[in-house]
Amino acid sequence: DKDGHKHFMAKEIAEQPVAVDTALKAYLDENDAITLPDGLDFTQIERLSLVACGTAYYACMVAKYWFETIARLPVEVDVASEFRYREPPVSPGTLALFVSQSGETADTLAALLYMRDKADVIAGLVNVPESSIARESDVVLPIHAGPEISVASTKAFTCQLTVLLLLAIKAAKAKGLPLPEGMPDDLHALPGLIHQSLASEAQIAAACRDLANARDIIFLGRGALYPLALEGALKLKELSYIHAEGYASGELKHGPIALIDESVPVIVMAPKDALFEKTISNMQEVMARGGRVVLITDADGAREAADGTADVITLPKVPDTLAPILYAIPAQQIAYFTAIAKGTDVDQPRNLAKSVTVE
Ligand code: F6R
């Protein structure tokens, strides 16, 4: 049941304030203490190995920033199909964490089985608690997104990020480290911020009528927004069949800038944070070469950097730590509205299946 929406994807995008709120409430008690299932004790963990595919892999890439900066834990992130054949050595004190919406992805499951006798703890962060990955894990961490029907992952991604952030905070507390300013209180603002950011829909739909004519589109982001650039590009390819690539904005001048001309829209994700000036200077390099920029930022960022851009999408101001979760919303909406403008099948893109149970 699409609940009045035209597509399951639209419904699932709109459900995110409630889904993220449900995920938060499942892990936070009334004193904002984070409660984890038995068997996961961060005082015993020295490093993490995060393994997943596709969108879930990008959630892991964001989590690396959080675990390293907030909890000072070294993290390795791998796509499951590479990890399983590399026979990586595993050090003592390793938490192996497998992230999967369906819990049935064959490569992720095989990577988990490889880690069986090697990691100290195996955890499965899943949306489907009765899945194979959940069954094979020592510790199951449900994301509480509710059923995700549309092939493209949306609410599962923001709920994966939410639970991964809670884990990073829990790990920091276990090590006696100070939390980032405003945490964990600011977590409670997240559902409301997501709700507010959904209102950029009309701005995004207008920008997408243009994007639908492009042959190639580039997404740029820096720091924890770099994986969001990758996610934006994946979602757009998947749904609109337009060639899209995400780059770390600092990497642009090491090659990809050769692609830029008037025909290539460049979507820049740049909240007004500590890295803003750097990303904007990369954006200006793009504009100097005729690139058509769509800037996604907040009101402060727009005031400083809107000049010369083709479009600005303004999101609410968000605490730095939470920005990757909030910027997932426009990434999803860009893919959705570009697909609508092109007339492709939003919920069932060609060549794709919801769960990939073969290698
Ligand atoms: C992208 C997408 C895929 C999945 C990937 C992993 O929108 O849906 O990239 O994220 O196939 O699937 P799960 O999370 O079920 O292991």
Tens digits of per-residue pLDDT, 123-150?
999 999 999 999 999 999 999 999 999 9
Per-residue model confidence (pLDDT) at position 109 = 98
Which residue minimizes the CA distance to atom 3 of ligand 1?
A: 54
Report whether 243 contacts 216 (CB < 8 A): yes
Q: How many CB atoms lie within 10 A of CB 99?
A: 34
Instruction: Say if ligand 1 is within 6 A of residue 238 CB.
Output: yes
Per-residue model confidence (pLDDT) at position 234 = 98
**Residue from 62, 101, 136, 151 whose mutation best tests the ligand 1 pocket (most atoms within 8 A of CB):** 101
List Cα–Cα distances, 177 to 34, 63, 72, in angstroms: 15, 17, 9
Question: What's the 309 CA to ligand 1 centre distance in angstroms?
Answer: 32
Beta bridge partners of 247: 220
Per-residue model confidence (pLDDT) at position 163 = 98
Per-residue model confidence (pLDDT) at position 357 = 87
Question: What's the 54 CA to ligand 1 centre distance in angstroms?
Answer: 5
Q: What is the model's pTM?
A: 0.98
Work out which ligand 1 atom sits closest to the CA atom of 354: 8
Per-residue model confidence (pLDDT) at position 355 = 85
List Cα–Cα distances, 276 to 193, 208, 216, 234, 301, in angstroms: 20, 24, 25, 23, 8
Per-residue model confidence (pLDDT) at position 353 = 86
* CA distance linking residue 270 with residue 150, whole number of Å: 28
**Residue from 7, 81, 102 whose mutation best tests the ligand 1 pocket (most atoms within 8 A of CB):** 102
Phi, then psi, of 28 in degrees rounded to 5: -105, 130
Beta bridge partners of 51: 78, 98
Instruction: Say if ligand 1 is within 6 A of residue 100 CB.
Output: yes
Work out which ligand 1 atom sits closest to the CA atom of 151: 8
Question: What's the 137 CA to ligand 1 centre distance in angstroms?
Answer: 19
Work out which ligand 1 atom sits closest to the CA atom of 133: 16
**Residue from 13, 125, 236, 356 whose mutation best tests the ligand 1 pocket (most atoms within 8 A of CB):** 356
Report whether 123 contacts 98 (CB < 8 A): yes
Instruction: Say if ligand 1 is within 6 A of residue 149 CB.
Output: no
Instruction: Say if ligand 1 is within 6 A of residue 160 CB.
Output: no
Which regions of the chain are under pLDDT 50?
none
| DSSP secondary structure code for residue 7 in this structure | S
| DSSP secondary structure code for residue 270 in this structure | -
Question: What's the 246 CA to ligand 1 centre distance in angstroms?
Answer: 17
Question: What's the 52 CA to ligand 1 centre distance in angstroms?
Answer: 9
Instruction: Say if ligand 1 is within 6 A of residue 236 CB.
Output: no
Instruction: Say if ligand 1 is within 6 A of residue 152 CB.
Output: yes
Amino acid at site 173: K
Following CA atoms 183, 52, 78, 87 in sequence, which dihedral angle do they give, to the nearest 10 degrees? 130
Does the annotation mark 354 as catalytic? Answer: yes
Instruction: Say if ligand 1 is within 6 A of residue 105 CB.
Output: yes
Report whether 193 contacts 318 (CB < 8 A): yes
Question: What's the 317 CA to ligand 1 centre distance in angstroms?
Answer: 29
> Which residue is catalytic, options 2, 237, 342, 354?
354
Tokens of 106: 């064959």
Question: What's the 348 CA to ligand 1 centre distance in angstroms?
Answer: 13
Angle, helices 226-240/54-71, rounded to nearest 10 degrees: 170
Per-residue model confidence (pLDDT) at position 358 = 85
